[in-house]
Amino acid sequence: MIKVEKMKILSQKEIAEYIYELELQGPLVDEISMPGQFVHIKVKKANDPLLRRPISISSYDKNKQTMTLIYRATGAGTIELAQQTGDLNVMGPLGSGFPVEDVKGETAVLIGGGIGVPPLYECSKQLKARGKKVIHILGFESAEAVFYEDKFKALGPVYITTADGSYGTKGFVTDAAAQFNIKADIFYACGPVPMLNAVEKLFDKIPGYISMEQRMGCGIGACLACVCAVNGPELYKKVCTDGPVFPKGELVY
């Protein structure tokens, strides 16, 4: 069930350049059903106060009713979000996430770019808990933007790339995947559209799921702000309700 709730802000801190980790608590967490779902956040004083900001759920703990979000604060709404204390107006959980049940094969590769990295953390934790081997390829702009390397390392191997070469492998996630000859039975990816397109091409022999980022209005399927072109008879799907996670091959780039 989707809730609109004032969640308690437990902590908020900058963990990399412009990147904030926000821990929230409330009964909304009971409703989360899979990794890769997102919430829609209303900030108090953004320039466009009508529009919420969609942010992925990076991890959650149902026993403590807590969830962690990681976001980049560089626009009006997210800069305001980084100042917020006390409680926060949150709608969610929204969308369909990464399927982790009944995954065939032993090894999953999780590929994230920038602010596409956060939802892969819970996905990796849940795959690992189901006995899968998890490999991570995480791409960032520069060394200052890298976050959660140690957290992912606790789950499985991590390959970091930076666009400027200041840390890890210079280049894109697909460069590292090719250079280190990464083999897997399934992939999960989240990041900018060109990255998703390249990942689908590189891992064309295995099944996979990708999480699509799109500008949103309502977040609940009513306004059509988030439609994207898909292969198949429907032609278009809504990222907020049909996604944000889609099976490989469904999106038209």
Binding residues (CB under 6 A) for ligand FAD: these are 38, 51, 53-56, 70-72, 74-78, 115, 118, 213-216, 244
| Residue 2 within binding range of ligand FES, rule CB under 6 A | no
Supply angle C-alpha 148, 149, 150, rounded to 5: 90
Provide the CB-side half-sphere exposure for 25 (13 A, CA): 10
**Rounded CA gap, 202 and 196, in Å?**
10
Nearer to ligand FAD, 82 or 155 (CB): 82
| Residue 219 within binding range of ligand FES, rule CB under 6 A | yes
Are the C-beta atoms of residues 24 and 152 closer than 8 Å to each other?
Answer: no
Judged by beta carbon distances under 5 to 8 A according to partner kind, the member of ligand FAD, ligand FES, none in contact with residue 219 is ligand FES
Amino acid at 183: K
**Rounded CA gap, 226 and 213, in Å?**
9
Nearer to ligand FAD, 74 or 231 (CB): 74
Are the C-beta atoms of residues 83 and 71 closer than 8 Å to each other?
Answer: no
* DSSP 3-state of 168: coil
Q: Among the candidate windows 67-75, 110-118, 165-173, 217-225, which touches ligand FES by CB under 6 A?
A: 217-225
| Residue 221 within binding range of ligand FES, rule CB under 6 A | yes
Nearer to ligand FES, 10 or 222 (CB): 222
Judged by beta carbon distances under 5 to 8 A according to partner kind, the member of ligand FES, ligand FAD, none in contact with residue 238 is ligand FES
